[in-house]
Amino acid sequence: MAVTLADVAARAGVSSATVSRVLNGNYPVAGSTRERVQRAVDDLDYVVNGQARALAAATSDLVGVLVNDVADPFFGLIASAVQAEISDGSAPGGGKLAVVCNTGGSPEAELTYLTLLERQRAAGVVITGGAIEGAGHGAAVAARLARLAESGTRIVLCGRPPLDPPATAIPVATVAFDNLGGARRLTEHLLSLGHRRIGYVAGPADRTTTRHRLEGHRAALAAHGLPSGGPDVERLTVHGSYDRSSGYDAALELLRREPSLTAIVAANDTVALGVCAAVRDRGFSIPGDISVAGFDDLPFSVDATPALTTVRIPLQEAGARAGRLVMGRQAPPPCGLATIRTELMVRASTARPRGGTA
Amino acid sequence: MAVTLADVAARAGVSSATVSRVLNGNYPVAGSTRERVQRAVDDLDYVVNGQARALAAATSDLVGVLVNDVADPFFGLIASAVQAEISDGSAPGGGKLAVVCNTGGSPEAELTYLTLLERQRAAGVVITGGAIEGAGHGAAVAARLARLAESGTRIVLCGRPPLDPPATAIPVATVAFDNLGGARRLTEHLLSLGHRRIGYVAGPADRTTTRHRLEGHRAALAAHGLPSGGPDVERLTVHGSYDRSSGYDAALELLRREPSLTAIVAANDTVALGVCAAVRDRGFSIPGDISVAGFDDLPFSVDATPALTTVRIPLQEAGARAGRLVMGRQAPPPCGLATIRTELMVRASTARPRGGTA
DNA sequence: CTGTTAGCGCCTTCAT
DNA sequence: ATGAAGGCGCTAACAG
């Protein structure tokens, strides 16, 4: 059996309460006693039982981090930053462990993990990535979050819009991304280059991220006096998942529907790579024949050829901020909402269309 | 306060022991009683306290996953696979949570996290990535692992060689990568194309992964009757960290030392991207003037331009296997060691050298 | 400053 | 099949 507090106490010739006090350093203990206890701890290689401590003190060393998939750099970068921030033992309340949960974008998995984290009485939960819309899922999540919040779990949303109005009473800090603004600026960039027939490869239809980026794209079209709705615009929009092969397929479909396309905007960088591959496989050059743009500015984007024009989201900083918020180490932003700016990164994958008029 | 077992028991008109038995389903309970309890649980929205359960039953729902950095796709892919495997609630003992720990490759952080996980009485620990050699670190890790193993924590090494001989008594399953063989085949490929002056961008000098890949490279040189040691070979080897900028700098240095280089092998794909960038910035074409190769076959490698010749490691499968092993869901391989094959992926970034003699 | 005393919420023999 | 009771290892009042 593992050595317990009582063992240490016996060896040091003190009560277990004293050992506890030495270990937690939150109560005055005589120097000599402290030393004796410390020695006993070392001699016995004692390691506290976190579960017993958590139970007795009603605290937890765990922080949940919900992601679609840590293998996706978008989420990996956020998760990494959160982890780094919460594990900083030198900070107050620091030294928490990150429980990373891959939801795969499934609403059920999201709820299941929230229950599991409630079970562990997690100190905090960071939910990353766009929210799934519709079918009462938002309400279901809100209900779970309400329970968590009530039991003292700090909740932070990162890369997802705030909870819907009926749930605004729940104390949740939100680090949102300006997806709409970024998407608008990206399409404005293409329009200003002279592109008029722009294909759009959107993400899954039921995600807030997908919707906001698409809205930004269309807002830019509208601002330039172009149709931003109707069958003609729908025809130039294809939905798919947020992965490379989806981008490949979508690009082929777009080129089939509209061979005179001069530019394609992808839902994110990963999709954009698939688009690039398809465009090239069809014999077009980038950006000579067709410009391609992505979103997120993941690390590999600069190494794509041509280097990808995209919209940078400071994922690392956002994750770090979410980490600080969930630790209560940073004051929540006004109204609990901080919107992270996005930045247009113009690189080599976009250029004027052949015979462009800009 | 949160609702407890006792609350449920009271509402169902049974003892808390009965509720516990219903919840755990490991003991006969009358059907009618079961239903009544189940209803009470639902009515009260009861969620078990994992910490109390863990304390009483001496079990844990946590599995630690040590990685250098989850933001690095190499580790992200492994971590993702481990997480997916251990969280499968339908499997025996399933439904564990993954505690992801970024060690940043620091020996101290590695030990600290192992202590933290021991504190949580983790059910298992998966340590990923190459080991740090020297300075007694291996022994220190082994000591910690011995303690963990003794207290029932399952231990799995993934992507790292088995523990050193003195520690072989510790029950540890190892999923190792055939770094040496892969590196050898990669360099053989270059040699067979006709390359003779090959630069090598190695990783940090104190990592097993670095060493094995370098050994494989040199073994190939030796097998072709080329010098595989000595100042001339050292001159063509530059060490750096496993990141892009390190590859960039190293490539410049190699080209400075030996302008007649016809190929550069990088420690991994990320480094290779940096090498490619440097080579191009110096005005050379790939593979026309200089061939470049990486290692790992990370997802972005196929989208690099030219597509990267590299050595594929089935990271996903390896991670999944590690996950199953740490859950005790799969029998350990003979002698506790399974070596994962690596596969040479010849793509467009390598070709015959100009005026090659192959 | 230190020891004593209660639990924290649950599981698990032991009875019944 | 169910209940009663003790204890998992630790912390947090409360005394002294």
* Residue appearing with tokens 């209803």: B39
pTM of whole model > 0.95? yes
Cα–Cα distance for residue pair A34/A40, rounded to 1 Å: 10
The residues of chain B that CATH labels 1.10.260.40 are 5-55
Cβ separation B101–A118 shorter than 8 A: no
Residue A65 has pLDDT above 90, yes or no: yes
The predicted-structure confidence for B287-334, as pLDDT tens digits, reads as follows 999 999 999 999 999 999 899 999 999 999 999 999 999 999 999 999
Burial annotation A73-112 (CB, 10 A radius, 16+ → b, else e): bbbbbbbbbbbbbbbbeeeeeeebbbbbbbbebebebbbb
Q: Measured CA to C1', what is the nucleotide nearest B2?
A: C9
Distance B6 CA to C16 C1' (A): 21
Residue with tokens 């490698």: B301
The residue type of B223 is: A
Does residue B357 have a pLDDT over 60? no
Residue A358 has pLDDT above 90, yes or no: no
Q: Would you call A68 an interface residue with chain B, using a CB distance cutoff of 8 Å?
A: no
Domain with CATH 3.40.50.2300 in chain A: 60-178+315-341, 179-314
pLDDT in tens, A238-247: 999 999 999 9
pLDDT digits (tens, 9 = 90+) for B165-180: 878 889 999 999 999 9
Q: Rounded to whole angstroms, how far apart are CA atoms A105 and A66?
A: 10
Q: Which nucleotide is nearest to B12 (CA to C1')?
A: D2
- Give CATH superfamily name and number for A179-314: Response regulator (3.40.50.2300)
Fold that domain B5-55 belongs to in CATH: 434 Repressor (Amino-terminal Domain) (1.10.260)
Query: Which residues of chain B does A50 touch, with a Cβ-Cβ cutoff of 8 Å?
Result: 119-121
Q: From residues 54-73 of B, which are strand C contacts by CB within 7 A?
A: 55-57
Q: What is the mean pLDDT of residues B195-219?
A: 97
Question: What per-residue string of b and e applies to A259-277 under the rule 16 or more CB within 10 Å gives b?
Answer: eebbbbbbbbbbbbbbbbb
Interface test with A, best of B1, B70, B111, B296 (most A CBs within 10 A): B70
Query: How large is the greatest C-alpha to C-alpha distance in chain A, in angstroms?
Result: 89
Q: Are A201 and A265 in contact (CB under 8 A)?
A: yes
Assign A266 a pLDDT band (cuts: 50, 70, 90).
very high
Check whether A233 has a pLDDT greater than 70.
yes
- pLDDT above 90 as % of chain B: 91
Query: From CA A142, how far away is CA B230, in angstroms rounded?
Result: 65
Tell me the pLDDT of chain B averaged across its residues. 95
CA of A300 to C1' of D10 (A): 48
Are B347 and B310 within 8 A, CB to CB? Answer: yes
Superfamily (CATH H level) for B60-178+315-341: Response regulator (3.40.50.2300)
- Nearest protein residue, CA measured to C1' of C5: A17
